Chain A
Amino acid sequence: AQTVTQSQPEMSVQEAETVTLSCTYDTSENNYYLFWYKQPPSRQMILVIRQEAYKQQNATENRFSVNFQKAAKSFSLKISDSQLGDTAMYFCAFMKHAFGGGKLIFGQGTELSVKP
Chain B
Amino acid sequence: KAGVTQTPRYLIKTRGQQVTLSCSPISGHRSVSWYQQTPGQGLQFLFEYFSETQRNKGNFPGRFSGRQFSNSRSEMNVSTLELGDSALYLCASMDRAGENEQFFGPGTRLTVL
Contact = CB atoms under 8 A, between A and B. Distances in A.
Interface residues of B, number: 26
Contacts, number: 61
Given A45-B90, A103-B56, A108-B42, A50 B98 contact: no
B42 A104 contact: no
Query: For the complex, would chain B's binding face be called helix, strand, loop or mixed by DSSP majority?
Result: strand
Query: For the complex, would chain A's binding face be called helix, strand, loop or mixed by DSSP majority?
Result: loop
Given A98-B97, A98-B98, A103 B106 contact: no
Is the interface on chain A under 10, 10 to 19, 20 to 34, or 35 or more residues?
20 to 34
Contacts of A43: 88, 106-107
B31 interface: yes
A103 B97 contact: no
Given A43-B107, A44-B106, A45-B90, A103 B100 contact: no
Interface of A: 33, 42-47, 50, 91, 95, 97-99, 101-109
